[in-house]
């Protein structure tokens, strides 16, 4: 089992332990200031953890803990998540022109906060095989990264694209729902 799969299994285990369905919020309409505040909270609370780091604090890492391993995805507290509902056509990683305005506030926020690296986490619905969806979600994250670099001027070294496929649905009651095709943004360092 790869480290990324192990971390993903750990994250899913933590989510499954919660009572009732778990939904991420849709942050597509947040202002740049609101997004920047979420990023600041992610950074100051130490919510990015490295595999094997167990602090017993429910996902938070003590100050001075090891940085996250590139490519790993961890669960971020719901209040600090930044989920932008970028709609992708079925079986596509192409960023539609109609979705690009949603990234304007995000771009402004990324430029204004003192964050060295952001992780772009791509998600899919559950149509197709898990392996296919993992690849498709990565392609979606990479397309958003390409847009942020070329249209927004964010340095490519500040962005890390990863895909988790269908593993963390927005709508757990309907794994095939369009809402599950999205991107989430996390602070890495």
User: How far apart are the C-alpha atoms of 110 and 148, rounded to whole Å?
Assistant: 10
> Is the overall model pTM greater than 0.85, yes or no?
no
Instruction: Find the CATH number of the domain harbouring 128.
Output: 3.30.1330.60
Q: What is the DSSP string of 148-169?
A: HHHTT---GGGEEEEE-TTSS-
What does the pLDDT read at residue 83?
74
Structural domain including 157 reads 3-187
- How many structural domains are present in the chain? 1
pLDDT by residue (tens digit) across 3-45?
A: 333 333 333 333 333 223 334 566 777 888 888 888 887 765 5
State the CB neighbour count (10 A cutoff) for residue 180. Answer: 22
Nearest to 8 by CA among 142, 168, 130, 126: 168
Q: Are strands 118-122 and 183-187 parallel, antiparallel or unpaired?
A: antiparallel
Whether the pLDDT of residue 133 is over 60: the answer is yes
What does the pLDDT read at residue 57?
32
User: How far apart are the C-alpha atoms of 162 and 170, rounded to whole Å?
Assistant: 17
What does the pLDDT read at residue 47?
35
DSSP annotation of 186: E
């Amino acid at each position: 089992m790869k480290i990324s799969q192990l971390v993903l299994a750990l994250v899913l285990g933590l989510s499954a332990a919660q009572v009732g369905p778990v939904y991420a919020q849709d942050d597509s309409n947040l202002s740049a200031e609101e997004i920047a505040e979420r990023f600041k909270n992610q950074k100051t609370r130490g919510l990015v953890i490295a595999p094997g780091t167990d602090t017993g604090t429910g996902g938070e890492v003590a100050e001075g803990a090891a940085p996250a391993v590139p490519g790993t995805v961890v669960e971020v507290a719901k209040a600090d998540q930044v989920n932008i509902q970028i709609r992708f056509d079925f079986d596509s990683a192409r960023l539609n022109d109609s979705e690009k305005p949603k990234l304007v506030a995000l771009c402004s926020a990324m430029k204004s906060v003192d964050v060295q690296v952001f992780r772009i986490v791509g998600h899919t619905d559950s149509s197709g095989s898990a392996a296919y969806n993992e690849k498709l979600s990565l392609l979606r994250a990479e397309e958003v990264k390409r847009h942020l670099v070329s249209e927004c001027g964010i340095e490519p070294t500040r962005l890390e694209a990863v895909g988790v496929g269908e593993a963390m649905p927005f709508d757990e009651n309907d794994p095939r729902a369009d809402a599950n095709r999205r991107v989430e943004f996390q602070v890495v360092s």
